[in-house]
Amino acid sequence: MLTGKKILITAGPTHEPIDPVRYIANRSSGKMGYALALELAERGAEVILISGPTTLKLKHSHISMIDVETAEEMYQASIKAFPQCDIAILAAAVADFTPKAPSKLKIKKQLNQDEMIISLVKTKDILASLGHTKNKNQIVAGFSLETDHEIENAIKKLKTKNLDFIVLNSLNDIDAIFGSDSNKITIIGKGGEQTAFDLKDKNEVAIDIVNFLQKLI
């Protein structure tokens, strides 16, 4: 049981505005983060779920919802919530870049216009920020979605962001793509130890991750 533990979860995509009607986003559904939040709450934890825009609904007496839209909003909410938390598992697919100067008015297509160039700037790294500011009693974990050199890239992320474990999932598995109800993961611990799991429903994947977390605690 996780009674008495306060846990921060991030979920879903972020929407980075180009103008009032357009934005840059990704294909994240938020299903994995929501499944984690529910499993943790069912085991007695008090969960703060910071969610980007999704169609999902979740009500539980142990879950406090914070809705955000942009990467900056998710960063600010996470930084504010983390000091009061024992654990943070960041499952959100946060945009790495955001438009430098979003237009306040809808951008009109010009008759002779063949292209539009949008300047992007890097967003703040939420996972690294929490990983490098955590105290000795806090646990921080994240997800690594990879298309190549998967284990190598996940371990690099684990080390550079000072995480306690990382959950690797691959876009190379057709049944574990964005938006699906299933996922296939490998959990990599701080010492580099790897535990691979079969393709499972995301609710079952959440159970595997929380079981790993409880052993770590």
Query: Which residues are annotated as catalytic?
Result: 26
Question: What value, to the nearest 5°, has the Cα angle with vertex 215 and ends 164 and 6?
Answer: 70
**Measuring CA to CA, which residue among 93, 209, 76, 207 is closest to residue 144?**
93
Residue type, 50: I
Is residue 156 helix, strand or coil?
helix
Residue with tokens 């977390």: 213
Beta-bridge mates of residue 140: 88
Sign of CA dihedral 78, 183, 25, 57: negative
Alpha carbon distance 6, 138 (integer Å) = 10
Round to whole Å and give the CA distance between 26 and 62.
29
Residue 148, token pair as written in the block: 């190549």
Residue with tokens 């980007």: 52
